[in-house]
Amino acid sequence: MDYINTSRPQKIFSTIRDRIVYMEYPPGKLLPEKELCAEFKVSRTPLREAIQKLKEMKLVSVIPRFGTSVSPVDINEIRSAFEVKIKLEGLAGEVAAKRITADKLAEMKALIEKADALLKEDGQRRLIEIDTQFHEIIYQATQNQILQEMLQNLHGRCARLWNSALGEIIPLPTIISQLKEIHSSLEKRIRQEHAGLWRITCGISSIG
């Protein structure tokens, strides 16, 4: 299901989601509809469209006659989401390896170069953003809309805890190394497929 079908609700959704993920909007913070409409210069309809998706990702709670607030971090729920996410990301990797295109690989490589530059500065938040974009490319490369939507939902639900703990649990160079390994693996798969197609083409030509 396409929850966000216009650029304006998408921008509102992405902005509020990032504020929640990076704790600019802490758990329990009220999100007054009138103030948000004024900030984004929109009517209630696109705002509510964005809020609905945030609600379905369990990032906000909507209480009738009270309003919208940032949901608390539920460790048990996030653990469950992580368990599913790990399995689905494995599937996404398998499917993407068969379908990823050269331009998507180029996008991934460009992100890795940006990540390398962050080692020279304190770039934890920016690195998390790059990691998110990197995995989004993999989701898109699956060319499977259902799988992509499920992973986007799960990523959003896990992101707050992941964001707060990532730099403490995994050193930044290790994260970048993992991105490089994923890119190398996908790039190798494409080279193998191209070589296979070339052998088939040569075989057909020799028969002719």
How far is residue 146 CA from its own chain's centroid?
Answer: 14
Question: For 152, phi and psi rounded to 5 degrees?
Answer: -65, -40
Average pLDDT in the 158-180 region? Answer: 70
Predicted confidence (pLDDT) per residue in 89-111, tens digit: 999 999 999 899 999 999 999 99
Model confidence at 200, pLDDT cuts 50, 70, 90, reads: very low
The chain-wide mean pLDDT, for the chain, equals: 82
CB 40 within 8 A of CB 47: yes
Check pLDDT > 80 for residue 204.
no
Task: Using pLDDT thresholds of 50, 70 and 90, give the confidence band for residue 201.
Answer: very low
- pLDDT for 23: 84
